[in-house]
Structure 1
Amino acid sequence: MGNDKDLKKKKKRSRSNEKSVELVVVANEAKQIQQQQQQQEKVIANEENQKPKQQQGNPNPKKKKKSQESYPFGNYKNYYGYRISNDMDEDPRLKVLNKEWFQGKDCLDIGCNSGIMTIHIANKFGCRSILGVDIDSSRVGDAQWHLRNFVRKQNHTKAGEKKSSGSKEESISLSNGEANTGSSGETKDLFQIVSFQKENFVHTRNLDDNRYDTILCLSVTKWIHLNWGDDGLITLFSKIWRLLNPGGIFIMEPQPWKSYEKNRRVSETTAMHHRTIVLRPEHFQEILLDKIGFRTVEDLTSSLSGVSKGFDRQILAFKK
């Protein structure tokens, strides 16, 4: 009997030792991969430093200045100019959004950039209110300009159109810078419906007392992720959950991981967080349903058509 016990103990120790060896091997392999990646980054950095610098007296200083512009938060100028093709009259994402998510509802657009999508949502679907927030005060200024310009253009449409039907009356009211707010038939000027303000959504507490029926976060998660890491991403999702009314809708257009790779070096901060990110975009749906608490998700991507190359991204609608 004593021999049997000794044999069992030896087997347990053996299995334990084997497991320890396996863990050490895995850890060493991971360390080797990380060292290889760091070495590759050093090689690339050295190659960049060895490139001949431009001579002084550059005949085209404007071009040089433009090449040095950096947008570490995705706060690109004229973003919609290259997102929407010249032969398109509106953003193709508008076609996959349900009117019932916006009509007569209070809405929030996180990372609104120059506000064009925000304005068109208000105009097309008749929000009761929609607030666009962006981290860049210049983009917020652009958004406010676009709103004034949009209403001004709409006000110059022909005022003599005949009001032969209810739908036509609604169309004319929209052309005069007004949007129908829903079942009551009340109309408001777009200036009363659409507003913009500068906010860092991850850190701000200015919105804590607000509640919304629909929240949009379109092509923004990557920039929050790269600038504030996994913690910033979870803060984003948790705050959206808190700000949504029961039954509210969260519409997300996440960028794929290859897009992270492309933009990881826009700043030291993004490069640092890129190396430490664990929660990849393919995990977002699971996190929002199983960890944050959303009840259902609908994939809108299959209905998306006419999207410019590079912007054919997944669009998901989560219900609280």
Structure 2
Amino acid sequence: MPPPPPPPEPFFPGTFLRPLCPRPALAREGGKMAAPSSAPLPCPEPGAAPYGNFPNYSRFHPPEARVSLLPDGLLRRLFPAAARPLLGLDVGCNSGELSVALYRHLLGLQDKSSLEQPAAGKDLHLLCCDIDAALIERARQSSPFPASISFANLDIMDSASREPFLSSYLGRFGRSTFDIGFCMSVTMWIHLHHGDSGLREFLAFLSSLCEYLLIEPQPWKCYRAAARRLRKLGRNDFDHFRSLAINGDMAERITQILTKDCAMELVCCFGSTSWDRSLLLFKSNGSNQEGREPSGS
């Protein structure tokens, strides 16, 4: 039998791991949805999902492939003194499989048959939003943790909708920001539909709203694949695809935006999935989040 794989390197918040994650072999491409519209978006076939709202996304990008890259006890390491419930925001949650997997992993609920209290010593309330109402309804119906995980049909790029909704949710906990945000294969869809300025606005918004941000950017080859799918279906190209000045190494470009423009710092790269996407953890340095409560409050 081959020897077991070596254990992952220890993770210490505040430690920079550069360069960004090495690239694995090319695998099947796809994308998770963002939120450029609040209307239902039926998608009878995977290629007909121009907003990333693939109806069976978890079948070709399984959640376990992401969460297995994250160290155990991550919440304890990030928030060692927090006595209050932690708040998380998952943007572009699709039908919720990855959201539930993240919740289980972060709280030490590895046994999927168990609905016991979290073993990680932390209480987490997770708000998950997506543009596709049908996917959100599926997520609600199948969620094993309805008291802790909320699913909402929300256009995250519609400030008139998002501001009151998110403020209302946070207000239930007496908070103005989230402890941790998740943006898993969403940035490309925001970028394609809202351009360079939309991507910058989106990242600035998330960085102002979350103390930590775990982000999985799609590489540039996924942009080309998404445009190619539309062409094969005889549909119009994405409005901004051919005019994007932010291109190339998207993990590096997004890191530059978050660190130089959004007052965040890169804490760690947890590695890359087999389909060539890096998991990057950022932390706010505090200057872009006025009125934030300290983690230990």
Q: Indicate which of 90, 107, 124 corresponds to 1:109.
A: 90
What is the identity percentage for the equivalent residue pairs of Structure 1 and Structure 2?
28
Q: Indicate which of 115, 118, 130 corresponds to 1:134.
A: 130
Query: Which residue of the partner structure matches residue 193 of structure 1?
Result: 148
Residue 96 in 1 paired to residue 105 in 2?
Answer: no
Q: Indicate which of 223, 243, 249 corresponds to 1:260.
A: 223
CA distance in 2, matches of 1:68, 1:220: 16
CA distance in 1, matches of 2:269, 2:261: 19
CA distance in 1, matches of 2:46, 2:64: 29
C-alpha distance after superposition, 1:71-114 (max 9, x if no partner): 11100011001112xxxxx6121122243337852101100001
CA distance in 2, matches of 1:289, 1:93: 23
Structure (1 or 2) with the greater helix fraction: 1
Measured after TM superposition, the shift of residue 66 of structure 1 is 4.9
Residue 277 in 1 paired to residue 266 in 2?
Answer: no
Q: Indicate which of 140, 153, 166 corresponds to 1:207.
A: 166
> What amino acid is the match of 1:112?
C
- Counterparts of 1:226-241 in structure 2 under 5 Å? 226-241=192-207
Measured after TM superposition, the shift of residue 67 of structure 1 is 5.5
Q: Is the 8 A contact 1:227 1:270 kept in 2?
A: no
CA distance in 2, matches of 1:134, 1:243: 17
Unaligned runs of 5+ in 2: 1-42, 80-84, 108-122, 171-176, 285-297
Q: Taking structure 1 as reference, are residues 291 and 141 closer, same or farther at Cα in structure 2, changes over 3 Å only?
A: same
Q: TM-score, normalised by structure 1?
A: 0.58
Q: How many residues align?
A: 201
Q: Is the 8 A contact 1:111 1:217 kept in 2?
A: yes
With CA pairs under 8 Å and 6+ residues apart, which has the higher RCO, 1 or 2?
Answer: 2
Q: TM-score, normalised by structure 2?
A: 0.62
Residue 297 in 1 paired to residue 297 in 2?
Answer: no
Q: Indicate which of 139, 143, 149 corresponds to 1:143.
A: 139
Query: Which residue of the partner structure matches residue 71 of structure 1?
Result: 49
> What amino acid is the match of 2:166?
L
Tell which deviates more after alignment, 100-109 or 224-233: 100-109
Measured after TM superposition, the shift of residue 269 of structure 1 is 7.0
CA distance in 1, matches of 2:255, 2:135: 29
CA distance in 1, matches of 2:61, 2:148: 25
C-alpha distance after superposition, 1:168-222 (max 9, x if no partner): xxxxxxxxxxxxxxxxxxxxxx221011001111113222463210000001100
Q: Is the 8 A contact 1:74 1:223 kept in 2?
A: yes
CA distance in 2, matches of 1:68, 1:121: 24
CA distance in 2, matches of 1:232, 1:218: 17
CA distance in 2, matches of 1:299, 1:115: 24
CA distance in 2, matches of 1:76, 1:222: 14
CA distance in 2, matches of 1:269, 1:107: 36
Measured after TM superposition, the shift of residue 231 of structure 1 is 1.5
CA distance in 2, matches of 1:236, 1:275: 20
Query: Which residue of the partner structure matches residue 312 of structure 1?
Result: 276
CA distance in 2, matches of 1:215, 1:270: 30
The secondary structure found in structure 2 opposite 1:75 is coil
CA distance in 2, matches of 1:121, 1:142: 18
Query: Which residue of the partner structure matches residue 60 of structure 2?
Result: 82
- Counterparts of 1:137-176 in structure 2 under 5 Å? 137-147=133-143, 151=144
> What amino acid is the match of 1:72?
P
CA distance in 1, matches of 2:47, 2:280: 32
> What amino acid is the match of 1:226?
L
> What amino acid is the match of 2:254?
F
CA distance in 2, matches of 1:193, 1:252: 22
> What amino acid is the match of 1:118?
S
> What amino acid is the match of 1:132?
C
The secondary structure found in structure 1 opposite 2:181 is strand
- Note the aligned Cα RMSD (angstroms): 2.4
> What amino acid is the match of 1:241?
S
Q: Taking structure 1 as reference, are residues 67 and 286 closer, same or farther at Cα in structure 2, changes over 3 Å only?
A: closer
The secondary structure found in structure 2 opposite 1:133 is strand
Residue 221 in 1 paired to residue 187 in 2?
Answer: yes
C-alpha distance after superposition, 1:125-183 (max 9, x if no partner): 23520011001001101111221xxx3xxxxxxxxxxxxxxxxxxxxxxxxxxxxxxxx
Query: Which residue of the partner structure matches residue 3 of structure 1?
Result: none
Q: Is the 8 A contact 1:214 1:250 kept in 2?
A: yes
Q: Indicate which of 122, 125, 129 corresponds to 2:103.
A: 122
